Each structure stands twice: as structure tokens, then as C-alpha cells.
Amino acid sequence: MAQCLDIDGSILEGGGQILRISISLSAILGIPVRVMNIRAKRSKPGLAAQHLKGIQLVADMCQAKLKGASIGSTEIEFTPGKIRGGHYVADTQTAGSISLLLQVALPCALMADGPVTLDLKGGTNADMAPQIDYMDKVLRPVLQKFNANFSLKIHRRGYFPRGGGHVTVDVTPVRQLQSALIMERGDLLSVKGLSFVAGTLPIKLAYQMADGARQELGQFPNVNINCYKEDRHMAPDNCSGIVLWCETSSGCVLGGDALGRRGTDAHTAGAQAAGALRAALLSRACIDAHMQDQVIIYMALAEGRSAINTGEVTLHTKTAMHIAELIAKSKFTIQPEGDLNIIECTGLGLINKNIPTE
């Protein structure tokens, strides 16, 4: 086993993302890590329930030895074993984000020795995290370009404050991730979306969010947003939100999303989600701002040169690149191209030796 690698959780973005990518790469590469100063730049530093459950989920998947894993802890040690296929359950027991559980576990599942089912419980549409619909409609097709495939089923929605959402994700492991060149935007084919309300909130809020989004996207053709109210059995608590995604002739998929907030009118929430997507479309980026950091780990592990054409590089993305370089020794470069940036990486070409060649 390699020597334990120290990771400073206070660097750059200084939040939970450092922990997630560190644990994922540790499990995949078999490198023990000690993560210190966890979430040092957050108002409540240390592990929250969703971070703890994410670590424990990956620890279960690879039979890791885990020290310091408790609510509020600012330092953990993670010593990984072999990633095994199987059925794994993680329940935040709060409205903690299911999407963030998936973010830490999915790369590991792709490098398991057999099929993986992730049984995830918590918040499906949570603040400060991608909505689960974004993971399905945007992340899933983007990762297919890296030869990474998963299927996702939403059994029940979970919202703040109680959570209670339930999602299962089925993952088929790969022998090797392939590089992806996501560089040519192509022409916009369509914009699709979901605008929803749940609990006791009136359906008119969903229509107002959709109207706000359509006005923001007025210059683009083929905007189709489905408005609906969740069944009380599917989602008993109050919530409203909107998720948008678009497809282009070159196969690019970009998205934007927002949740309704008390004190903010629904029209504004819809415009907020659409504004992020509109900015990406006008810039001719191929990857939206919220997808940037999520693909970094796949670029680092893939075989060959990957490159993505995106807008301003976010602090989350710079942080993910730093951790990937530190643990995986991958090298990333950022090349400005007018208002856009090209992020490139020559990946490790990691081979999952548990999967036979075809």
C-alpha cells in the first residue's frame, strides 16, 4: 500500500468537493489519503451528514479503513481496499443531496469488479447541489462520451427539511474510460425542461417559473418546458423548482436549474435557471459552468487527451484540477480562447484489470 497522502481541505474552494474527489481518487487508485481542514471555508466547518454518508458509501464499496469519520470532524484518514461490485445503500437521513452522494460514488462504481447498484436516500432537489434531474438529463449524456454509463430511477422525491427521497442508480463498470473531445458546439436543436411544484404549493408557480424561463430564452427556438405538480405519494413536502437542458447538433448537452425560494417570485427563479443556460449558449460553450468540475475526474482517469470548450473556469473546477493533479498526477492546462477556455488533460489511461478485454 502506498504512503498516506495529506490533502489540505482549506485550499481554493475549501468545501466538500475537495473531500469527494479525494476519496474517489483514493479508492480508484489505491492511495491512502488524510484529508485535513475539511470544509474549512464553510460557515460550519467539518463533516455534515451528507459528506459523512458519501465517505462511508465509498468505504463500503472498497472495504476501506476509515478514521475520524463523524459529524463535525475536520480530519479523516481513508485507506482503501478493492472496489467490489454489489448493492450499496446510503441514507443521509436528512435533505442532504443525493446528487452529491452520486458524485463521489459513481467514478468508483465504474472501476468496480462487477455491476453496482447505488441505493441512495436523501434530498433529490436540494439547495447548493445539482438537482437529480440535472444528473440524469445533463451529466449522464456527457459522461457517455467518456464511455461511462449509468441508469437512474427516481422512486420518491425528497426536499428540505425532511428529505426522504429515494433514487437507485445502476452502473456497469468499464475496463477503461475513453478520452473525450467536447469542442464543437454545433447548432441548437432544442431546449427542454421540467418545472414542478410539490406539497401544498399551487401549480401556478410551476407555470410562472416556466414563463420566466421562456422569456429569458426567447431568442432560441424549440423551447419545451413541462409543468406539473408532484403526486403527494411521490413528494409529500413543499418544494418548487425548474431544470432546463438543451441538445445541439454536435451532441453537446448543457443545462441550468433553480429552486423556488421563499421571498423570491417564481418568475425570477425560472429566469435564473434560464439565464445560466442562455449565457452558456451565447458564449458557444460546449460544457456549462456546473458541469466543468464534474468531468475533471473522468478526464484525469481516461486514456489519451481530453479537452472541453467552456466559459469562465470556476473555482470548483480549479479545485478539482488541483486535487486530480495532486493524487492522480494528471496534468491539466487552461488555454483562453476569447471569452471561452479550453481545458485539456492527458489522462492516466487507468485500466480496470477486473474487467476482461473484449
CA-wise closest residue to 106 among 127, 83, 72 = 83
- Yes or no: say if 33 and 77 are a contact pair by the CB < 8 Å rule: yes
CA-wise closest residue to 179 among 336, 300, 24, 11 = 300
Residue 316 annotated as catalytic:
yes
Torsion, CA 11, CA 125, CA 312, CA 183, rounded to 10: 120
Handedness of CA 214, 217, 223, 226 (dihedral sign): negative
Active-site option among 51, 166, 290, 316: 316
What cell does 271 get?
A: 429566469
- Catalytic residue list: 316
